[in-house]
Amino acid sequence: FAKRSQLSYHATSHSEERQFECTAPSCGKRFKRRKQLVAHSRAHGDARPFVCDKCNMRFKIKSILKCHMKVHEEQKQYLCSFCGWSFSQAGNLKVHLRVHTGEKPFSCEQCSFRAAAASNLRRHQRRHS
C-alpha cells in the first residue's frame, strides 16, 4: 500500500470489530466502516445517523456530532463584543462577527453572490448545478 491510511483501511476488512452502530429504534446493526452504516441508514430513511442527545440534531459524520456537542458546553469562552453572544469555538465567533461587520469573504465564481460563511456559499452554488 502506498499510504499507511490505505493499509489501515484494508486491515479493517480482516477485523471482526464493528464500531459503527445503527441508532435506528430496534435495529442496532453494527458495521466495520462508517460508509456502510451511512448506506444502511438510508434504508431506514435516515441519511444522518448520528444524533445529538441534547437537542436531537442529526449528523452524517460522528466527528461532526462531537464538534457540535461543544455548543452545549456550559463554558462558552468566546464572547462577541458587539452583542454579547458567546461561543465555545473561536471559529464560530469569527463567522458570527461577520454579521456585525458585513464582511463577506466567500464569493461565487459564476455570479456576483458573496457570503459570510463558506456553508452559505456552498448552498448557493448548488443553485447553479
What pLDDT score does 79 carry?
87
Residue 8 neighbours by CB under 8 Å, 6+ apart: none
Q: For the chain, give every domain's residue range.
A: 4-71, 78-128
**Rounded mean pLDDT for each run of 10 residues along the chain, 129 residues in total:** 76 70 80 79 72 82 83 79 85 92 95 93 90
**Second CATH level (architecture) for the domain 4-71:** 2-Layer Sandwich (3.30)
* Fold match flag (4-71 vs 78-128): yes
What pLDDT score does 50 carry?
79
What pLDDT score does 13 carry?
65
What pLDDT score does 114 carry?
96
Question: Is 78-128 a CATH 3.30.160.60 domain?
Answer: yes
Euclidean distance between CA atoms 103 and 84, whole angstroms: 19
Q: Is 115 helix (H, G, I), strand (E, B) or coil?
A: strand
Residue 85 neighbours by CB under 8 Å, 6+ apart: 79, 96
What pLDDT score does 116 carry?
92
What pLDDT score does 15 carry?
66
Distances (CA, A) of 26 to 23, 29, 32, 98: 8, 9, 19, 44
What pLDDT score does 108 carry?
94
Cβ-defined contacts of 13-22 (< 8 Å, 24+): 20/62, 22/49
What pLDDT score does 12 carry?
65
